[in-house]
C-alpha cells in the first residue's frame, strides 16, 4: 500500500514528535508499505522517511524543483517526482496514494488534511485518513470539528471519514483494513 504522510517540515519541535513519527515510518515499512511524501529531509517529513529507510521500505518523494536545494530534500528516496507547483505536488500525492496519515504539523499540514477530508466527504475517494495524535496534538482540532458538528456547520458523518490514534500498530491496522464503501458516503440527506 502507498501511504501518504503529511507533516511538519521544520526542526524546531519537541524530539518526541520526531521519535514517534520515525517509529510510525519504520513500522509501516516493515509491514511492506511504501511512503509517498513531500520529500523533505527535516521535521516530521524527514523522521518518517528515515523510519521508512530503517524499516527497508520504498520511498517516493514529491516536490517542485524550487525545493531542490542542498540539505532540503531527503536524499535516500527511491524515486523523486518533480511537479510544477505546490498544488500539483499535493494532487500527485493524493492521486498516487492508497491512504493518508497526518502527523503533527503546521498550516500546510492542516490544509492537506482538510483537502483530503473534503474530497472524501464529496465522495471523490474512499481512502483511509488517520490523524497520528502524538501527545494529544490533534485533540483541539477534533474538538473544534465536534463543536462545529454540534452547531450544524459540519455534518455528523464527517466524523466517520477519518480516524484518530496515537498507536503506530493501530494506525497500520486501520490502513490495512482498507477503503470504505464510497457508496456509504452521503451528504445530501
Distance of alpha carbon 136 from alpha carbon 132, whole angstroms: 9
- Quick: pLDDT tens for 70-119: 999 999 999 999 999 999 999 999 999 999 999 999 999 999 999 999 99
Higher pLDDT, 134 or 186: 134
- Residue 189 counted as domain residue: no
- Residue 183 counted as domain residue: no
φ and ψ of 146, to 5 deg? -60, -45
Distance of alpha carbon 141 from alpha carbon 135, whole angstroms: 13
Is the pLDDT assigned to residue 186 strictly greater than 60? Answer: no
Domain assignment of residue 80, given as a range:
2-178
| First-to-last C-alpha distance (Å) of the chain | 33
* Rounded percentage of the chain residues whose pLDDT exceeds 70: 94
Return the closest-CA partner of residue 134 out of 38, 41, 49, 23. Answer: 23
φ and ψ of 173, to 5 deg? -65, -40
Distance of alpha carbon 50 from alpha carbon 41, whole angstroms: 8
Contacts of 57 (CB under 8 A, 6+ apart): 25, 28, 29, 30, 32, 33, 34, 35
- Residue 130 counted as domain residue: yes
Is the pLDDT assigned to residue 1 strictly greater than 70? Answer: yes
* Rounded percentage of the chain residues whose pLDDT exceeds 90: 93
- Residue 188 counted as domain residue: no
Q: pTM for the whole thing?
A: 0.93
Q: Which residues in the chain belong to E strands, given as ranges? A: 2-6, 34-37, 59-62, 79-81, 99-102, 129-132, 163-165
CB 95 within 8 A of CB 87: no
CATH number for the domain that contains residue 85: 3.40.50.450
Distance of alpha carbon 176 from alpha carbon 149, whole angstroms: 28
- Residue 187 counted as domain residue: no
- Residue 110 counted as domain residue: yes
CA-to-CA separations, 117 to 23, 146, 159, in angstroms, rounded: 25, 15, 10
* Number of domains the chain contains: 1
Amino acid at each position: 500500500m502507498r501511504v501518504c504522510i503529511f507533516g511538519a517540515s521544520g526542526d524546531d519541535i519537541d524530539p518526541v514528535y520526531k521519535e514517534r513519527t520515525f517509529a510510525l515510518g519504520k513500522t509501516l515499512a516493515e509491514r511492506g508499505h511504501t511512503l509517498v511524501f513531500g520529500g523533505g529531509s527535516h521535521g516530521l517529513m524527514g523522521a518518517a522517511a528515515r523510519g521508512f529507510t530503517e524499516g527497508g521500505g520504498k520511498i517516493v518523494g514529491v516536490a517542485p524543483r524550487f525545493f531542490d536545494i542542498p540539505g532540503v530534500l531527503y536524499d535516500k528516496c527511491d524515486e523523486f517526482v518533480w511537479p510544477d507547483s505546490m498544488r500539483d505536488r499535493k494532487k500527485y500525492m493524493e492521486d498516487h496514494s492508497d491512504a493518508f496519515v497526518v502527523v503533527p504539523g503546521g498550516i500546510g499540514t492542516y490544509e492537506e488534511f482538510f483537502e483530503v477530508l473534503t474530497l472524501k466527504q464529496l465522495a471523490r475517494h474512499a481512502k483511509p485518513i488517520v490523524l497520528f495524535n502524538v501527545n494529544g496534538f490533534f485533540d483541539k482540532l477534533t474538538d473544534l470539528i465536534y463543536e462545529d458538528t454540534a452547531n450544524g456547520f459540519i455534518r455528523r458523518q464527517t466524523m466517520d471519514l477519518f480516524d484518530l490514534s496515537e498507536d503506530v500498530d493501530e494506525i497500520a491496522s486501520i490502513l490495512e483494513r482498507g477503503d470504505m464503501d464510497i457508496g456509504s458516503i452521503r451528504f445530501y440527506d
